[in-house]
Amino acid sequence: MVNRLLALRIGALLLAAVLLAAPSARAQPLTIDSLLTRIFSTDDRTSYDLTAAFNGTLTLGLKEGRWVALAAGTFHEWRTAGQPRHWKINIDQLDLPTLLRPFSGALRRAIEEKAAMQSESLEALHSHELFILEELPGGRYVLAGIRSDLVDEAIDRYGHAADKTNPTTRRAIARWLFVAPTMREWIVRRGGAYAIQAVADEQGLVYSVTLFYNWGRLDMTFNYVTIAGRPIWREVGTGIISDIDGVGHVTGHLSLTFSQHKFALLP
């Protein structure tokens, strides 16, 4: 009886979510489909190779306290036809407080690995059911989404098979899963990011991405400089969360400033 009442309650919430997602008399300035088309436009899918030098400030939080370290190195971003973008950070210099110097190798590897892990953060938008969560001033939009397989699972448990092929219904369900406090625990899963949130402008330029995992979250922010008519990263802020052997649980923020950009289109 309890399960039946729960199913009825969830079904009613799903119906309400679908109705709220239906078109109203006030048309939305920009649809999610149009925004995603601009983010992943044909021009943005061209093959290229980008290198740059960087200087960074790393703020680390451990159980013993907080420290600031300085880093310098090289950055490489590339994409080949039909493939997601990749980027790699090589830390050539890492100036640590005395207490952390014995663990410099482990910290360097952790930062580089987290950077590589986030290299496909924008591509993760493809594997999530996305919707516009909020419109911000200045022509920017907050996008949010739930992993597509979790939306399928919610439909299997609480909806109808036909809902899986209805984009409006899928996005309404994703919105409900994302914002409903009662579903917060249900959507947390192992593996890839179970949810994603991003801020983009109406031209499709992305300014922040947050990936939600069962062990925590990873945040990235982006500022740009225009080179050869293309927006290229000038500054990137990256959240750091990791368990490091000999150090313990580490949280922090890595702020990178890029210079000496070398950009080339590939055939």
pLDDT of residue 201: 93
pTM, whole model, 2 decimals? 0.74
Tokens encoding 122: 């924008």
* pLDDT at 242 (0 to 100): 66
Answer for the pair 140, 201: CB distance below 8 angstroms, yes or no.
yes
The topology under which CATH files domain 2-265 is outer membrane lipoprotein receptor (LolB), chain A (2.50.20)
User: For residue 45, what pLDDT is reported?
Assistant: 65
Per-residue pLDDT, 216: 81
β strands within 45-101, DSSP E: 48-62, 65-79, 86-95
pLDDT at 128: 92
Instruction: Give the residue ranges of the chain where pLDDT is below 70.
Output: 1-29, 41-45, 82, 114-124, 240, 242, 244-247
Could you give the angle at the alpha carbon of 126 between the alpha carbons of 125 and 130, nearest 5°?
60
CA–CA dist 121, 118 (Å, integer): 5
**Helix orientation angle between 2-21 and 148-158, rounded to the nearest 10 degrees:** 120
Euclidean distance between CA atoms 73 and 264, whole angstroms: 20
